[in-house]
């Protein structure tokens, strides 16, 4: 367990725990999973610090709220947000621990939280609530975060130090067999561990979701029309009846699946298939290996 | 000028008319035993939970001619998740703390009731129940209301459980004779699992069944676990006089070590006497659950051939990814086989229960587990098609990572878990074997729609994108679709004035489809 001062506690140094807000919603939607928003850029600071010394993002700008506003927010939050995020904002059914969210850590009086709540994100629906209610909820979330920063544990916390059970040598061996068709340690994954750590690295390793850093790695579709003409682009929408793509000029185009032929190249499918092959030891070994790619 | 005598006569006439109206319009509880074609009088349509209709006007040959008869927009921020109830030409449909009475012919609102804002959890509402001239509505702050079915006036309002302790309610009540049976939810606190029965006329409490007892109860077999909330509507066998209901996961949810043993009766199907709440038998689908896999999914009652003998069966596609067949007279297990991706059990024990692999319990460094928290299926009503012998289920092939360390404590969730990836797929399970006859990709993550089958061999549901679907039940091929928005409830069907309607919730609205007139 860590005391409050055992880690790099400088304001402004926060590990890039990707905005865990993105996990809202008890029902995962593979098409719109995490990472749907851009990962916030974080200062790298002590990139070489041992994983165990890394801690949740700290509040960048300390803020004070009146007690009445926090209390009003407590009841509003419980009713509207509590199922997914927990009554204490420490995580609930499907939704992440907001006291460890990068969005909350960098929020100043709702400037990051409010737009997200109003528009929704990933599986989190938009909330149309009066501003006074929303600000009360912001006050409550910040207060909970302040309290969580002085507490140990945390209901849904997963620390980088928790994940250090793998063997990097075994992980490299596994990687060289299972992953090198698409990835290379010196290529696309160079410096990976300097960008992503801990739970986020594990999650991205298992299934990256969201738009890839390299657009060339997005799922591609080639549609052949009845007249033989072909249209290719990034796969943008797909259900049983409609296939949609974004072409090289940035235009969205859709086609009825019954009237065209199409082929989809979906690189992430390899990650889905790998989920059924990993043992837990494999998973931890590969994570250990990826952590060496700095 | 009216004479006193005339006034009396008028009064008498009005009184008689009133009685006649009540007599004609009130819902005879007997209707629940044999629902008529112009009704959908209870959550599952009837007591069996088959979610199947004998109506035959809409067929595989003409379903693609269906046209929109009407739409009803709730103008709420939340999707319609409730299964509508239909009696006497009136549809009763709910969202959290809202109830509408709608003309089933035209989609016109007759009345609306809104419960005052409360501070309990707001996650969804499964539906209402009707009996006599009353509609029963549960509220998120775990109260049971009886409203006048004619105008939405509240007749009585009783507490089911104390929301301040962490209980809430989404439940569609079950009516059996003069009992209104309701369950609650409450995973974020260590709360005993309770199912309660109230007098249908007065709201007076009748009995309470504890799936797990209050902590410290002498002789408890729960191993210290709380939870096991019965948050879904069960099914009823009138001949055996048994109410079958699934119980929820134990609490603390992910912390297994603090509650050793099987944690009965969490993650179970229990058979109760609806007059007393006494348990006749229990079958545990998930011994010692540590993954939030309740067994609250619909226990479907089927009388059918089972390997050469006609038997009284109970079928459940459970959240843990396994399909179970039980003899519903005794709870004896007949079939246990996965219907969705699973990796958490080392086998099946002599009683037909999957044996949890201790290595797949949540651990400090994480465990990759299938299914994920939302499960191999969930609240989405399945449908049993007797002619094809299929239980058609909205399944989910998914992986999650599960964490637990002592620092997470022993209250409520007590751990962390995250979905890695999931894919929704409709599966048709052959009821005697569990073999999958066909699968139909839902094009996205876990579905939200329940399933309705009809006697002409049609399956109505929704995909994970934007479409209401009609499929051929025998092979899962698509016959019709409409992009009405994501279907969030279980479709129902009814026939009025010689016209068959199919009713879907799509987004925040209800849509009624029928053949052109």
pLDDT tens-digit map of B376-387: 999 999 999 999
pLDDT tens-digit map of B116-175: 988 888 789 999 999 999 999 999 999 999 999 999 999 999 999 999 998 999 999 999
Q: Which residues in chain A touch residue B80, judged by CB atoms under 8 angstroms apart?
A: none
Based on the fold, state whether residues A170 and A280 are members of the same structural domain.
yes
Residue of A nearest to B401 (CA): A203
Structural domain boundaries, residue B48: 27-514
Cis peptide before B311 (omega within 30 of 0): no
Q: What is the pTM of this model?
A: 0.86
Based on the fold, state whether residues A61 and A97 are members of the same structural domain.
yes
Is the pLDDT at B86 greater than 50? The verdict is: yes
Is the pLDDT at B414 greater than 50? The verdict is: yes
Domain annotation covers residue B94: yes
SS3 assignment, position A26: coil
Q: Is A215 buried (19+), middle (13-18) or exposed (0-12) by CB count in 10 A? A: exposed
Q: Which residues in chain B touch residue A162, judged by CB atoms under 8 angstroms apart?
A: 364-366, 403, 405
Q: What is d(CA B129, CA B174) in angstroms, rounded to the nearest whole number? A: 7
The pLDDT of residue B17 is 41
- Proportion of chain A above pLDDT 90, given as a percent: 48
Domain annotation covers residue B124: yes
Residue A181 sits in a domain whose CATH number is 1.10.760
Domain annotation covers residue B390: yes
Based on the fold, state whether residues A84 and A205 are members of the same structural domain.
no
- B413, A156: Cβ pair inside 8 Å? yes
Based on the fold, state whether residues A87 and A183 are members of the same structural domain.
no
Based on the fold, state whether residues A174 and A261 are members of the same structural domain.
no
Question: What ipTM does the predicted assembly reach?
Answer: 0.91
Based on the fold, state whether residues A51 and A143 are members of the same structural domain.
yes
In the predicted model, what is the mean pLDDT of chain A?
79
Chain B contact probe: residue of A20, A25, A26, A27 with most B CBs at under 10 A: A27
Domain annotation covers residue B8: no
| Domain total of chain B | 1
Give contacts of B 60-119 with A, CB under 8 A: 77-78, 117-119
SS3 content of chain B, % helix, strand, coil (to 5): 5, 40, 50
pLDDT tens-digit map of A113-125: 999 998 888 778 8
Across A146-155, A203-212, A284-293, B83-92, least confident range: A146-155
Interstrand relation of B322-327 and B332-338 (parallel, antiparallel or unpaired): antiparallel
Provide the pLDDT confidence category of residue B187 given band limits of 50, 70 and 90. confident
Based on the fold, state whether residues A165 and A130 are members of the same structural domain.
no
- Proportion of chain B above pLDDT 70, given as a percent: 95
Among B368, B408, B478, select the one facing A280 at the smallest CB separation. B368
**First-to-last CA distance in chain A?**
26
pLDDT tens-digit map of A127-171: 888 888 899 999 999 988 888 776 654 557 889 999 999 999 999
Chain A contact probe: residue of B408, B424, B464 with most A CBs at under 10 A: B408
Domain annotation covers residue A25: yes
- From B328, B280, B277, select the one nearest B300 (Cα to Cα): B328
Average pLDDT over residues A52-56: 46
Residues 6 or more apart whose CB falls under 8 angstroms from that of A146 comprise: A59
Give contacts of B 153-172 with A, CB under 8 A: 166
Provide the pLDDT confidence category of residue A211 given band limits of 50, 70 and 90. low
Which token pair is B113? 């009731």
The pLDDT of residue A9 is 33
Provide the pLDDT confidence category of residue A42 given band limits of 50, 70 and 90. very low
Based on the fold, state whether residues A199 and A256 are members of the same structural domain.
no
Across A131-145, B33-47, B96-110, B459-473, least confident range: A131-145
Q: What is the DSSP string of B344-361?
A: SEEEE-TTS-EEE-GGGS
Provide the pLDDT confidence category of residue B9 given band limits of 50, 70 and 90. very low
Q: Is B266 buried (19+), middle (13-18) or exposed (0-12) by CB count in 10 A? A: buried
Q: Tell me if chain A has a CB within 8 Å of the CB of B181.
A: no
Is the pLDDT at A197 greater than 70? The verdict is: yes
| Domain total of chain A | 3
Is the pLDDT at A50 greater than 70? The verdict is: no
Structural domain boundaries, residue A283: 160-211+270-290
Is the pLDDT at B13 greater than 60? The verdict is: no
Domain annotation covers residue B305: yes
Domain annotation covers residue B316: yes
Domain annotation covers residue A3: no
Based on the fold, state whether residues A58 and A98 are members of the same structural domain.
yes
Based on the fold, state whether residues A144 and A181 are members of the same structural domain.
no
Domain annotation covers residue B2: no
Residue B478 sits in a domain whose CATH number is 2.140.10.10
Average pLDDT over residues B479-491: 97
Q: What is d(CA A117, CA A96) in angstroms, rounded to the nearest whole number? A: 14
Is the pLDDT at B271 greater than 80? The verdict is: yes
In the predicted model, what is the mean pLDDT of chain B?
94
Q: What is the residue whose two structure tokens read 């035993």?
A: B33
Based on the fold, state whether residues A119 and A32 are members of the same structural domain.
yes
Domain annotation covers residue B400: yes
Domain annotation covers residue A1: no
Q: Which residues in chain A touch residue B404, judged by CB atoms under 8 angstroms apart?
A: none
Based on the fold, state whether residues A29 and A85 are members of the same structural domain.
yes
Residue A250 sits in a domain whose CATH number is 2.30.30
Chain A contact probe: residue of B231, B407, B425, B439 with most A CBs at under 10 A: B407
Average pLDDT over residues B71-92: 95
The pLDDT of residue A41 is 31
Residue A217 φ then ψ, to 5°: -90, -5
Residue A140 sits in a domain whose CATH number is 1.10.760.10
């Amino acid at each position: 367990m860590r005391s409050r001062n055992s880690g790099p506690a400088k304001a402004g140094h926060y590990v890039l725990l990707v905005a865990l807000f993105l996990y809202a919603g008890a029902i995962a939607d593979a098409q719109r999973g995490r990472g749907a928003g851009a990962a916030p850029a974080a200062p790298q600071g002590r990139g070489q610090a041992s994983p165990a010394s890394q801690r949740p993002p700290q509040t960048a700008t300390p803020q004070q709220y009146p007690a009445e506003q926090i209390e009003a927010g407590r009841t509003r939050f419980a009713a509207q947000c509590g199922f997914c995020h927990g009554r204490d904002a420490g995580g609930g059914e499907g939704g992440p621990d907001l006291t460890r969210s990068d969005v909350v850590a960098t929020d100043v009086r709702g400037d990051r939280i409010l737009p997200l709540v109003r528009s929704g994100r990933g599986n989190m629906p938009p909330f149309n609530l009066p501003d006074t209610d929303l600000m009360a909820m912001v006050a409550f979330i910040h207060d909970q975060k302040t309290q969580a920063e002085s507490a140990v544990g945390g209901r849904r916390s997963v620390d980088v130090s928790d994940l250090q059970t793998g063997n990097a040598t075994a992980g490299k061996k596994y990687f060289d067999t299972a992953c090198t068709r698409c990835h290379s340690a010196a290529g696309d994954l160079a410096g990976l561990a300097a960008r992503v750590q801990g739970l986020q690295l594990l999650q991205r390793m298992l299934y990256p979701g969201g738009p890839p850093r390299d657009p060339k790695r997005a799922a591609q579709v080639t549609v052949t029309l009845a007249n033989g003409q072909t249209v290719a682009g990034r796969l943008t929408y797909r259900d049983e009846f409609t296939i949609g793509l974004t072409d090289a000029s940035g235009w969205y185009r859709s086609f009825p699946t019954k009237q065209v032929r199409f082929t989809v190249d979906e690189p992430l499918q390899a990650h889905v298939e790998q989920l059924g092959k990993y043992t837990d030891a494999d998973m931890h070994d590969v994570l250990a290996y990826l952590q060496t790619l700095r | 000028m009216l004479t006193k005598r005339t006034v009396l006569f008028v009064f008498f006439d009005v009184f008689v008319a009133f009685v006649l109206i009540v007599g004609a319009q009130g819902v005879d509880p007997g209707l629940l035993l044999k629902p008529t074609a112009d009704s959908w009088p209870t959550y599952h349509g009837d007591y069996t939970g088959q979610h199947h209709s004998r109506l035959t006007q809409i067929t595989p040959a003409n379903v693609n001619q269906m046209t929109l008869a009407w739409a009803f927009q709730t103008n709420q921020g939340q999707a319609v998740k409730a299964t509508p109830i239909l009696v006497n030409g009136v549809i009763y449909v709910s969202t959290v703390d809202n109830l509408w009475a709608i003309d089933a012919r035209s989609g016109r609102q007759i009345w609306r009731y809104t419960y005052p804002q409360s501070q309990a959890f707001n996650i969804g509402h499964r539906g209402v129940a009707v009996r006599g001239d009353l509609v029963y509505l549960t509220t998120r702050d775990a109260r049971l209301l009886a409203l006048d079915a004619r105008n939405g006036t509240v007749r009585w309002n009783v507490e089911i459980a104390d929301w301040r302790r962490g209980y809430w309610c989404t439940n569609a009540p079950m009516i059996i004779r003069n009992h209104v049976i309701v369950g609650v939810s409450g995973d974020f606190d260590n709360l005993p699992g309770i199912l309660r029965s109230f007098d249908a006329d007065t709201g007076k409490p009748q009995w309470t069944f504890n799936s797990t007892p209050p902590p410290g109860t002498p002789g408890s077999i729960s191993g210290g676990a709380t939870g096991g909330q019965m948050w879904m509507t069960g099914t009823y066998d009138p001949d055996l006089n048994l109410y079958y209901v699934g119980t929820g996961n134990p609490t603390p949810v992910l912390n297994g070590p603090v509650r050793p043993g099987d944690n009965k009766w969490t993650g179970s199907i229990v058979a109760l006497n609806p007059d007393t709440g006494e348990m006749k038998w229990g079958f545990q689908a998930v011994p010692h659950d540590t993954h939030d896999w309740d067994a609250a999914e619909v226990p479907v009652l089927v009388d059918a051939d089972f390997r050469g003998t006609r038997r009284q069966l109970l079928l459940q596609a459970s959240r843990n990814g396994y399909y179970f067949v039980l003899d519903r007279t005794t709870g004896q297990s007949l079939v246990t086989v996965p219907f969705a991706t699973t990796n958490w059990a080392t086998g099946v024990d002599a009683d037909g229960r999957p044996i949890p692999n201790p290595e797949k319990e949540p651990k400090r460094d994480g465990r990759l587990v299938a299914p994920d928290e939302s499960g191999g299926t969930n609240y989405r009503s399945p449908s049993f098609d007797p002619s094809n012998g299929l239980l058609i289920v909205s399944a989910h092939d998914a992986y999650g990572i599960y964490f637990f360390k002592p620092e997470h404590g022993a209250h409520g969730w007590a751990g962390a878990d995250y979905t890695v990836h999931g894919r929704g797929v409709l599966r048709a399970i052959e009821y005697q074997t569990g073999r999958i006859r066909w699968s139909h990709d839902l094009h996205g993550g876990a579905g939200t729609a329940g399933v309705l089958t009809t006697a002409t061999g049609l399956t109505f549901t929704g995909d994970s994108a934007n479409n209401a679907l009609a499929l051929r039940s025998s092979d899962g091929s698509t016959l019709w679709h409409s992009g009405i928005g994501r279907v969030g409830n279980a479709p129902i069907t009814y026939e009025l004035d010689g016209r068959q309607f199919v009713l879907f919730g799509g987004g925040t609205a209800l849509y009624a489809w029928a053949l052109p007139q």
